[in-house]
Structure 1
Amino acid sequence: MNNQEKYLGDNDFIVSKTDKSGIIVYCNEIFSKMAGYPPSQLIGANHNLIRHPDMPRIAFKIAWSLIKQNKEFFGYVKNLCADGSFYWVFTYITADTDSKGNILSYTSVRRKPPKSAINTIVPIYKLLTDAELTGGIEASQDLLNKFLDEKNTSYEELVINLQKGAVI
C-alpha cells in the first residue's frame, strides 16, 4: 500500500454488479481502470478485493444489512487499487429483484464524492477502525451509535447531508 490517491472524474460513474454473495459478475471500464485490474481479474472475484484496510468493517455491516433487506445503501468508501494506491467514492448499492421481490443480485454505482465529505468522514472512520482493533465490530457499532446520537442524526441522514455539503 502507498499514499497515492487517484481521483474519479467529475462525470465518471463506476458500475458493478455482484451475485448475492458479493462475487463480481459485471464491471464497467471505469471500475477496471480505477481499481487497476483487468476485467478478467475482477469478474469472478469477491468485491472485497478492493477493500481498503482504512475502511471500518461496520460500514460494510450496515451496507449488507440494508441491501439484504432490499433497502438502498449510500455511503463513502475508500477503495484499494491493485498498485496499492486508493480512491474514494460515494456509493449507492441496491438489490436487483425478480417479479416476486426475491433478491437476485446487487448493483453498485459510485461517483466522485465531495472533498468536504471525505475530510469529514476520514477522522470518523479512523475512530471506528481503531475501535474495531481493540474491541471488535461491536465497539465500532457502539462508537458510531454514540456519535450519531450526539449529532442527533441517523447514518443515512449523515451521509446525505455530507453529500449536500453540510458541515458536521
Structure 2
Amino acid sequence: MAVSNVQPTGIERTFGEDEIIISKTDSTGKLTYANNIFLDLAQYDEDEVLGQQHNLVRHPDMPRAVFKLLWDTIQAGEEIFAYVINMSKVGDHYWVFAHVTPSFDANGNISGFHSNRRVPEPGPLAKVKDLYKSLLAEEKRHTSPKDGMEASHKMLIDILTENDVTYDEFIFSL
C-alpha cells in the first residue's frame, strides 16, 4: 500500500465503552487480524489492512518517542499499556487506551503482537495530551527526525526517572 497523503481532519471518531478494538500482527508489525470495531473506526475494509503495517493508522500527533518505547517493550517480550491517537483512512482521529502484548510460538520466540484497545478515561487522557504536546514539540525542534525522536525519548525517560516509575506505573498513576 502506498504512503498516504491524507491530512488530519480534526474530526474525532468515538466508540462505545463496551467495545474493544482488537488487532493482531506478525512479528514485523504487519496486520494479520482486525476486528470490525477496528475496521469501522479506521474506515478501512479488511482487505485494505491485512498484510499492511499497523502504522497504517498512525496519527502525526502521536509522538514517535512513545512508539519507540512501545516497540522496545513488546520486542523485549513484555506487555505495555499506552494512550494512542490513531488516524482513519480519511484523516479523522480516535483516541484509545491500548494494551499490547507479544505472542509466542511453541519455542518461546515472539511470533507476533496482540492489542486490545478501549475508550480512554477523560481525566488521564487530558494529562496524556499535554505530555504528548511536549514530546512532539521536542521532536519538532530537531531537523533530523531520528534526532528529534531520540531527544523526545530521552525527555520521556527523564520524566519517568524523576518520578521513579515505569511507563506503565506512570500511565496508571494519571
What does residue 14 of structure 2 align with? 7
Q: Choose which of 69, 73, 81 in structure 2 pairs with 1:66.
A: 73
Q: Choose which of 43, 49, 68 in structure 1 pairs with 2:56.
A: 49
Q: Is the 8 A contact 2:30 2:52 kept in 1?
A: yes
- After superposition, the CA RMSD in angstroms is 1.2
The amino acid across from 1:116 in the alignment is G
Distance in structure 2 (CA, Å) of the matches to 1:40 and 1:99: 29
Q: Choose which of 139, 158, 165 in structure 1 pairs with 2:151.
A: 139
* 1:157 maps onto 2:164 in alignment: no
Distance in structure 2 (CA, Å) of the matches to 1:27 and 1:66: 22
What does residue 113 of structure 1 align with? 120
Q: TM-score, normalised by structure 2?
A: 0.89
Q: Is the 8 A contact 2:99 2:117 kept in 1?
A: yes
Q: Is the 8 A contact 2:68 2:153 kept in 1?
A: no
Q: Which ranges of structure 1 fall in alignment gaps of 5 or more residues?
A: 163-168
User: What secondary structure is seen at the aligned counterpart in 2 of 1:107?
Assistant: strand
Q: CA deviation at 1:145?
A: 2.4
Q: CA deviation at 1:16?
A: 0.5
User: What secondary structure is seen at the aligned counterpart in 2 of 1:92?
Assistant: strand
Distance in structure 2 (CA, Å) of the matches to 1:149 and 1:17: 31
Please list every run of at least 4 consecutive aligned residues from structure 1 whose deviation after the TM superposition is greater than 4 angstroms. Answer: none
Q: TM-score, normalised by structure 1?
A: 0.92
Fraction of identical pairs, as percent: 38
What does residue 17 of structure 1 align with? 24
Please list the CA deviations of residues 66-85 of structure 1 after superposition, one character each: whole Å capped at 9, or x if unmatched.
11111001100000011211
